[in-house]
Amino acid sequence: MINKILVANRGEIAVRVMRSCREMDIFTVAVYSDADGGAMHVRYADEAYHIGPSPSNESYLNIDKIIEVAKKSGADAIHPGYGFLSENAAFSDRCKQEGIIFIGPSGDSIRMMGDKITARQTMIKAGVPVVPGTTEPITDENKALEVIREIRLPVMIKASAGGGGKGMRLVKEESQILNSIRAARSEALSAFGNDAVYIEKYIESPHHIEFQILADKHGNMIHLFERECSVQRRHQKVVEETPSPLLTPKVREEMGKAAVAAAQAASYSGAGTIEFIVDEDLHYYFLEMNTRLQVEHPITERVVGVDLVKEQIKVANNEVLALKQEELRQRGHAIECRIYAEDPDRNFMPSPGIIKHITEPHGLGVRCDGYVYEGYEIPLYYDPLISKLICWGKTRDEAIARMKRALYEYKITGVKTSIRLLARIMDTPDFKDGKYNTHFIEKNHDFLFTMPPINPRVEDVAIMSVFVDYLGKVDNFETKVLAKNGKSNWKECGRRKNMFSY
């Protein structure tokens, strides 16, 4: 039985994992770098150990140190969260060697899916559709030209060791092909130490739709439906939702079956994600598999009603999956907005700094997974994610309205955040209509980055003026006046469009 889990991560995901541990009566061990002595995951855990300097390669990526802490603290298992060591095959293997349960798949599964060419071959064998292209590394340039003439331009050249948008190149003209292949190979070699590249037909205006899967160590596998992740900027997801407005029940069912077949082919265990690229005609193709819990997992949790971290822990503990595919349903609609400490008006420059004030949204259908508190300094060493705001509604429209309401309630000062941009996304006609693909942000750039007609700072000024007014009344023993007329003297103008919705 797992009695104590070391969480090899920081930030909101470390806290998220520990919350499920606490509900399961499992003790938690935090690890932290120099920059994280006062971080929330350290406060939340039952025990915490310093593992090194602030840069992650000297702390959160230090395998020896983390294993040492696991042993010293008597942890039975390690949860890697996302990022850092979560998709490190050597770390999964090392945990096994040391007799510690890695809450995630085997090193072999991670390695297989980490090599995109092997992953493609495996999917073809399993009957899962892949994007038309090559199934072997490109070594012969003439053969590459032959393949490209067959599948036609444009194509993408991708690094086998890449993924998540790293090591990709778009080729639109015949004259660029050979140069692009050579450049892609040398880039891949220096970035990943592996120059294997492959070719795929370029899908013009795709959707990024991923399926959540869950597998135990006894061969049982299920999917927990999809997440639509097409609102992205430079391969960083910004908003995710489920169900996808694009899919039909029939395509959803087919893709779910394909996702389970994909996981089976990888002898997978644990929680994983099958990423598909879907074109306007609903043709879907396997792109890659993520062998970890993902940032956007809460929208699935909300709509399917499953705690994915608890399921991960149970299957890591050799338990038989209690969930049955035929019992799973998507109930209502959930949207996630990622709140980053960055400045959308300055090319998304990270905005580390001290949180001066924070008021998080609450209320029906709202979940806010964060980790910062007033006075906390967001370090510059790590991903600047502050929190994830997840809103649920019976319908998509209700979920959007609720997200707008929650973003209105969300106040953070001290650092720049993406809150206003997210509110603007909720107001974008293409988003409201559910008609968007991976080009959404570029396509709606002017709408998204133009200030609404009323300067939003009017709201801050209004709050200050009310406060000054209030202080004046307190000084003059006039507080009863407030209660007597019971009326705000600044919202009488009513809810003007755009005034309070940014």
Residue numbers at the binding site for ligand MV4 (CB under 6 A): 131, 156, 164-165, 200-203, 206, 208, 232, 235, 275, 277, 287-288, 438
Report the C-alpha gap between 148 and 286 in whole angstroms. 20
Question: CA 479: distance to chain centroid?
Answer: 48
Residue 300's nearest CA partner among 222, 235, 234, 220 is 222
Report the C-alpha gap between 231 and 425 in whole angstroms. 9
Which CB sits closer to ligand MV4, 130 or 304? 130
Taking the CA of residue 110 as centre, how many other CA atoms within 13 Å lie in the half-sphere pointing to its CB?
Answer: 20
Residue 43 annotated in active site: no
Shortest separation between residue 283's beta carbon and ligand MV4, angstroms: 12
In the block, residue with structure tokens 């949860």: 79
Shortest separation between residue 442's beta carbon and ligand MV4, angstroms: 10
Which CB sits closer to ligand MV4, 151 or 323? 151
Instruction: Give me the residues paired with residue 166 across strands.
Output: 163
Shortest separation between residue 249's beta carbon and ligand MV4, angstroms: 23
Shortest separation between residue 199's beta carbon and ligand MV4, angstroms: 9
Length of the chain: 502
What is the end-to-end Cα distance of the chain in Å, rounded?
50
Residue 185's nearest CA partner among 176, 198, 174, 173 is 198
Report the C-alpha gap between 383 and 152 in whole angstroms. 39
- Which residues of 142-256 form beta strands (DSSP E)? 155-163, 166-171, 197-201, 207-215, 221-233, 236-242
Which CB sits closer to ligand MV4, 225 or 285? 285
Shortest separation between residue 322's beta carbon and ligand MV4, angstroms: 32
User: How is residue 48 written in tokens?
Assistant: 């915490």
Shortest separation between residue 285's beta carbon and ligand MV4, angstroms: 7
How would you label 395-427 residue by residue, b for 16+ Cβ within 10 Å and e otherwise?
ebeebbebbbbbbeebebebbbbbbbbbbbbbb
Maximum CA extent, the chain: 88
DSSP-based three-state secondary structure for 315:
helix
- Set 16, 185, 227, 292: catalytic member: 292
Sign of the CA dihedral with 144 first, then 181, 157, and 163 last:
positive
Which CB sits closer to ligand MV4, 185 or 201? 201
Shortest separation between residue 207's beta carbon and ligand MV4, angstroms: 8
How would you label 311-329 residue by residue, b for 16+ Cβ within 10 Å and e otherwise?
bbbbbbbeeebebeeeebe
Sign of the CA dihedral with 432 first, then 434, 437, and 443 last:
negative
Which CB sits closer to ligand MV4, 76 or 115? 115
Which CB sits closer to ligand MV4, 2 or 209? 209
Which CB sits closer to ligand MV4, 59 or 291? 291
Q: How far is CA 250 from CA 241, 256, 325, in A?
A: 19, 10, 16
Dihedral angle of Cα 364, 224, 118, 137, to the nearest 10 degrees: -50
Shortest separation between residue 287's beta carbon and ligand MV4, angstroms: 5
Shortest separation between residue 421's beta carbon and ligand MV4, angstroms: 17
Residue 122's nearest CA partner among 274, 325, 315 is 274
Report the C-alpha gap between 482 and 375 in whole angstroms. 32
Return the active site residues: 292
